[in-house]
Structure 1
Amino acid sequence: MHTPNPLLPGFNPDPSIVLVDGVYYLVTSTFEYLPGLPVHRSTDLVHWEPIGNVATRPEQLDLGSVPTPGGAWAPTIRHRDGIFYVIVTVMLGGRGCVVFTATDPAGPWDDGTPIPAVTGIDPDLAWDDDGTALVTFAGFPHPIRQVRVDLATGEALEEVRTLWEGTGRYAPEGPHLHRRGEHWYLLVAEGGTDRGHAVSIARGPSPAGPWEADPDNPVVTASGTENPVQNLGHADLVETPDGGTAMVLLGVRPVGFGHAFSPLGREAFLSPVRWVDGWPRAALVTPAPTPDEDVTLDLAGPAVLTDLGWLSVRRTPSEVAAVGDDGLVLAGDGRDLDDAVPCFLGRRQRHLSATVSVRVDASGGRGGLAARHDEMHWFALEARGDGAVTRVTARAALAGIEQTWSVDLGPGEVELRMNLLRPPHGFVPAAAGGGTVTLSAVGDGRHVRLAEFDGRYWSFEVAKSFTGRVLGLYAVEGRVRFSELRYRGTDGPGEPGARGDEPVRTGTSGGG
């Protein structure tokens, strides 16, 4: 089986998968973003399409007061008797552990049933021989715990019990229970979600154990290797179309010398599994380049906001943006990118190198184009017009410290452009960082490069936001109109959409 890795490029961590009537459905974490918990569909584990989201209404997760990095952590998707289930923990507030149901995985999904007895993270859902639902989860503090639950009411049918302590590695979490033959298998993540991440497994005669650990644990880990995909862990098992077994799991694709920085965050990967003496054996993941993309979105199209690629922070896209006659309009409410609820409408960066550009009319407000990791780690190009000039400001925020560079262009519409270039291969000085970020503006017959800096500080390893880079539109004040949003991406060494025939001038530097 040809494996495209990553399965879902860009910020798509904690994958869980289920096979129903020859079709695969996969769901991933979204943390503070809405819509939440995207569902993807495939018939061959190779070609995937988004079909919907579990959480399309704010009340389903209640993220309004949930701080970063809380939100929708590590869902599990399962199916039984014609019903699809997604169980998830809304961490650091919100609704806690919630189970959602739908007869169609594309939605709509119901409002969800809270399960108060589950006070930890990463809940799994399985059923024992008499049809009773079992929720297995990672406790806080660890280890792995389990409780029988009435899914209709969310009530616990027993006291929560400790299930397995793990193998001794740090932070056993992300449990998934699977039955195979006479054994129940308990798959867990260990070692944290950084370079020590690993997948371990135990088996027992019942979903309650007792548990025998695989003598060759961990099943898979990239820790201490030069594998180009690192942080492998948080896995789920599924049968393949040819009758074999595969594992979906998260990982990162770090760039630069030493494989140190991952701008895209944690992505979803797949590894074939073979069984040896009743234990699964998975190979390290080898990445395959995501196909190049060159896409221009018609922001004036009537259905633009129904596109499943949009994300907003703690609000739905329709709460943030409206379709105008000649583009999307975002109305700022005074909240900037450092706010927990910015006026932001974004899409995942899917390639290791990307150029994104948009035309902006800020004559009635202030806003622009941003790359967001969280409230403290972002960079942006911002336009502000007063009728006589349009001031464009490049902004870079790192751990709450902001630097700005500004230039004045003529009145009216301007084009804002970000070029996000991965570092070169090999042992050269330019390969030591996280790639080059170039912020520029086009307007008044000029192409001005305002800022250029090392992207290492806007990566998973530095920001620790649990998400990844999301590229999008934002407004702070007034009404800002956007048109011609273009994304060009490649995983290769080249520069996507490079234009070498335009004059480059340097903008003025300002403090922040």
Structure 2
Amino acid sequence: MHYTNPVISGFHPDPSICRVGEDYYLVTSSFEYYPGVPLFHSKDLVNWEQLGHVLTRTEQLDLRNARSSGGIYAPTIRYYDGLYYMTTTNVSGGGNFYVYTDDPRGEWSDPIYVDQHGIDPDLFFDEDGSVYYTTSNDAFGQGAYQSRIDLKTGKRLSDVTLIWRGTGGQYPEAPHLYRIGEWYYLMMAEGGTEYGHMVTMARSKRPDGPFESCPHNPILTHRSLLKSIHATGHADLVEAADGSWWAVFLGIRPAGYPNYHHLGRETFLAPVTWTEDGWPIIGNNGTVDEQMEVDNLCAQQVKVGSVRDDFDATYLASYWSFLRGNDQANRSLTEKSGCLTLFGSASTLNELGVPAFVGRRQQHFECRARVHLTFVPERTGDEAGITAYMNEQFHYEIAIMQTQSGRKLIFRRRIGSMWKVENEMPWSDDSVILTVQAHKTHYEFGFASREEESEVPFGRGETRFLSTEAAGGFTGVFIAMYATGNGTRSETPAHFDWFDYEVTE
């Protein structure tokens, strides 16, 4: 059969995976977005359902001081002695910690912090009951650092020592330790999570080394290759029930030349084979394709379809995220039945605050998002609409806004230090349909008075300016509903009756 990469599209980087019986669980990074650490489940490695998030309470996650692309860095998920463990780093406050649960679909514990510097932590449970905690050093990086810890308290039982420097690539990070047969394998990412990204491997007869480097490192990389997938790295291994081995890892799909990517780093899958002398090979001799032919998967890959959220439930669907916190004063599902209601925060999309923002990841190059908004602002500065958002300095929006000269429909672009309302018109209706049509190279923004009417084009923006190459950082584009009082909290409710996400590719 064949399957299509990425298996989880859009901004879902730094995947980590574990298997329990016939079930696979996978987590990814979330950075400044709340809740933290998206959690997925699969029976076949190809089709993934998001169960929710691991970090869902303020006791677990404080992002108030998170810069864009700060917050939660690469997680690791493991299963041991009846419990699931997830460890990660909050680089914006708290450092390294882990949480646990006996049911990944339920609540996870409060954090247990580990006094060990670095990022991208890994938990390894050895056969003798020892628990090893391995991190990569901070920004400048020297390699993989390790200590033994008390699992109940997180306290270190040994000094932190450097166990492997990697093969010489910049930013050695994302260490994962495995016991496979008689060997302890240590896998890392090197080269930076950019176009030189790669996966390297070493092994030892002891969990704390010394480690010898794989003779055919890197075992995965797309650097300098003419491929539709780039920046492959930050991998994790899992053994299937049939004894086959697989790797999940991040990659990007650039949209143009010179290369740029705006969907973020995505989750890819590849089979793993082993050489006669016991070294792994990921994919096709260290490379992967969007269409992968394999013999040992029997899954029929289900194409992701279009989704309408009518906001009829008492809770938001698992794919929705907020910026830097769960300020429930900003939103309600009960203020107006069948609507998501936002109350404009003082924070705007141009700030490192906690705005009234409910968004989902853009997961396809060609897609269309539409919302039905009812909004009757009275105070100057009140504003509500829909945004294509990369970070506080790079975003586009179409919105209803109360100005000194009256209520208007506006289209605005923010590109670095430059911003401009590029189109505006008087608006007297109480409701409007707002649309973002995404293409690989650009966005088209439009509106209609009613759902059955044709949309009127109102603005346009290049995807390039919402890419990592232009905007910086480690995230991807969100399509979000928002409301703001532009410096003052607004009491005017913005009622979103529904949100459509339609795949058009």
TM-score, reference length from structure 1 = 0.89
Distance in 2 of aligned mates of 1:106 and 1:48:
14
Map of 2:461 onto structure 1: 453
Unaligned runs of 5+ in 2: 292-300
| Residue identity matched to 1:37 | V
Query: Which residue type is aligned with residue 377 of structure 1?
Result: F
State the secondary structure of the residue aligned to 1:439. Answer: strand
1:287-318, Cα deviation, whole Å (9 max, x unpaired): 2598363222102x033x33101100111374
C-alpha distance in structure 2 between counterparts of 1:211 and 1:186, whole Å: 8
Counterparts of 1:122 and 1:450, CA distance in 2? 43
Are 1:410 and 2:409 counterparts? Answer: no
Matches within 5 A, 1:493-508: none
**AA at the equivalent of 1:220:** L
Aligned position for 1:497: none
Q: Which moved more, 1:397-406 or 1:468-477?
A: 397-406
Distance in 2 between the 1:281 and 1:275 partners? 6
Deviation at 1:66, TM superposition (A): 2.1
Q: Distance in 1 between matches of 2:327 and 2:204?
A: 46
Which stretch of the first structure deviates more once superposed, 315-324 or 71-80?
315-324
Q: Does 1:400 align with 2:400?
A: no
Match of 2:437 among 419, 440, 449: 419
Residue-by-residue CA offset, 1:101-142 (whole Å, 9 max, x unaligned): 1001112001111112x2100000002342121111101242
Residue 359 in 1 paired to residue 378 in 2? no
Which residue, 305, 320, 341 being the options, matches 1:329? 341
Matched, 1:38 2:38: yes
What is the CA deviation profile of residues 339-391 of structure 1, one whole-angstrom value per residue up to 9, with x for unaligned ones? 22221000111111111111112213411101111111111111125899641
The equivalent of 2:296 in structure 1 is none
- Deviation of 1:38 after TM superposition, in Å, equals 1.4
Q: Which residue of 1 aligns with 2:144?
A: 144
Tell me the percent identity: 36
Structure-2 separation of matches of 1:204 and 1:347: 43
Aligned to 1:510: none
Please list, as runs of the form range in 1=range in 2, the aligned pairs for 1:55-204 lying within 5 A after superposition. Answer: 55-91=55-91, 93-116=92-115, 118-140=116-138, 141-142=140-141, 143-204=143-204
Equivalent residues of 2:197, 2:221 under 8 A apart: yes
* Partners of 1:2 and 1:204 in 2: CA distance: 35
Tell me which residue corresponds to 1:430. none
The Cα of 1:448 is off from its aligned counterpart by: 3.5
Q: Distance in 2 between matches of 1:226 and 1:408?
A: 49
Alpha-carbon distance between aligned partners in 2 of 1:448 and 1:336, rounded to the nearest angstrom:
26
Compared CA separation, residues 302 and 292, structure 1 to 2 (3 A): closer
Pairs within 5 Å for 1:8-27 = 8-27=8-27
Alpha-carbon separation, structure 1, partners of 2:418 and 2:497: 30
- Secondary structure of the structure 2 residue equivalent to 1:262: coil
Q: Counterpart in 2 of 1:342?
A: 355
Q: Would you say the 8 A contact 2:47–2:302 is kept in 1?
A: no
Residue 58 of structure 1, CA deviation: 2.0
* Counterpart-to-counterpart distance in 2, 1:53 and 1:359: 27
2:482 maps to 1:468: no
Aligned partner of 1:230 in structure 2 is 230
Change (3 A) 1:386 1:273: same
The separation in 2 between residues aligned to 1:290 and 1:157, in whole angstroms, is: 47
Equivalent position SS for 1:456: helix
Question: 1:286 aligned to 2:304?
Answer: no
Count of paired positions? 474
The whole-number CA distance in structure 2 between the counterparts of 1:334 and 1:470 is: 21
- Give the CA deviation at 1:398: 1.5
Match of 2:320 among 292, 310, 318: 310
TM-score (norm 2): 0.90
1:357·1:485 contact (CA, 8 Å) conserved in 2?
yes
Higher mean Cα deviation, 177-186 or 440-449? 440-449
CA contact (8 A) 2:27 2:76 kept: yes
Counterpart position of 1:483: 497
CA contact (8 A) 2:445 2:460 kept: yes
Question: Residues 126 and 179 of structure 2 are in contact (CA less than 8 Å); yes or no, is this contact kept in structure 1?
Answer: no
**1:280 deviation in Å?**
0.6
Tell me which amino acid in the other structure corresponds to 1:296.
Answer: R
SS in 2 for 1:72: coil
Q: CA deviation at 1:69?
A: 1.8
Kept in 1, the 8 Å contact 2:310–2:338? The answer is no
2:447 pairs with 425, 441, 445, which one?
A: 441
Structure 1's 290 and 437: CA in aligned 2 closer, same or farther, altered over 3 A? farther
